[in-house]
Amino acid sequence: MAKASSNGAFELSVKQKEPTLVPPVEETEKGLYFLTNLDQNIAVIVRTIYCFKSESKGNEESAEIIKDALSKVLVHYYPLAGRLTISSEGKLIVNCTGEGAVFVEAEADCAIDEIGDITKPDPVTLGKLVYDVPGAKNILEIPPLVAQVTKFKCGGFVLGLCMNHCIFDGLGAMEFVNSWGETARGLPLKVPPFLDRSILKARNPPKTDFPHHEFAEIEDVSNTAKLYEEEMLYRSFCFDPEKLEKLKEAAMEDGVLSKCTTFEALSAFVWRARSKALGMKPEQQTKLLFAVDGRQRFRPAIPEGYCGNGIVLTSSLCSAGELLENPLSFTVGLVQEAVKMVTDGYMRSAIDYFEITRARPSLAATLLITTWSRLSFHTTDFGWGEPILSGPVALPEKEVILFLSHGKERKSINVLLGLPASAMEVFEEQMQF
């Protein structure tokens, strides 16, 4: 029975079996596999879970079927069966050893609906559904793909994945998981992976034709670091279609903008709200970072099924005073400029910038927005129908806000974030409008 912890909160108990390695079922290519500079930039671990429950089919064979399909899909996605290492140039590269992905079977002592609201990242509870490689000191010691299937008492199960962002961006990861599901159902791959990442290698000689403010180090003159010594609170705020429409109207009411997307209005709104919540001084420079999908923006466009990172970070820089003293349309305008900046030339320049400097984007006084609202993770099907729920286990960094699509029609957006307790109170007040 799931037990209540000392403070009365629900505590999930999960028994994990010994991990096993799942190599590709056929011989695959060996040797070193190139990762681009866009892959290097975001080498963070991403943990996600997918909850399945079918009315007509129990979970007895779930682990076996998913494990078997993994060995088959790895033939197409063989770099996932390798290990990360450092190249002679000092960059991340995959050594395609074929040793396999890590797979763990587990059992939970309760029904799947007892884990509660997974739309809110809860690293303590949800973390038990994703296997952590014990003693791993850095990302090189974590295989590119770690999977755990946890069976629940009610006949449902959860697939928990731990993947490195340098292998996939959201779209690539989604295509991989959907291919894995198709394989489990005995279907051919709808989108076979395009593995050649050299199409995005740096130019020779590299040249930067644009300023890249995403790398700017900003001084924390407001001493927000002090706030972060408080307890962190995690919350999710749901913006339904009506609220999103209201936000777009507010952004356009002064007639400055002729058009405005949901993403632009929501990003501008939370950037302002978070800057206020953190008590930034008017002269505090603050930066907004977000990823733009470059697949269609590169010239020529990236081929379908490209499984590396096709996203490029773009940025906007502004003082907190300007953000808060101007109408919403001002901030939306900044977001629109940042989107417009992302052309083939800008993206090639960003690739070359990393080649020259090896710099990582700085998160000082920064908000990084990650959008999952356009990703169809909810369509994944291993034979038990689509997931009843899916989402991230935790936010990768304290500076990250996540946009997730929500609800039956996927028309609502859940905004997920973590803030120091006193800042969260101010943020919550601003979400009421």
What residues act catalytically?
165, 381
Specify the DSSP element, H or E, that contains 249.
helix 241-252
User: CA-to-CA distance for 85 and 344, rounded, in angstroms?
Assistant: 29
Full 3-state SS string of 210-227? CCCHHHCCCCCCCCHHHH
Which of 118, 123, 131, 120 lies closest to 160 in space, CA to CA?
A: 131
Phi-psi region of 410 (alpha: psi -120 to 50; beta: other; left: phi over 0): left
DSSP state of 129: G
User: CA-to-CA distance for 73 and 69, rounded, in angstroms?
Assistant: 6
| Beta carbons of 243 and 414 less than 8 angstroms apart | no
The one-letter amino acid code at 59 reads N
Alpha carbon distance, N-terminus to C-terminus of the chain: 42
Q: Is 328 strand, coil or helix? A: helix
Q: Are strands 285-293 and 366-371 parallel, antiparallel or unpaired?
A: parallel
Which of 309, 50, 317, 284 lies closest to 184 in space, CA to CA?
A: 50
How many whole angstroms from its chain centre is CA 342?
20
User: CA-to-CA distance for 52 and 58, rounded, in angstroms?
Assistant: 10
Q: For residue 26, what are the contacts with CB-CB under 8 A and spacing of at least 6?
A: 75
| Beta carbons of 287 and 365 less than 8 angstroms apart | yes
Which of 415, 12, 34, 45 lies closest to 234 in space, CA to CA?
A: 415
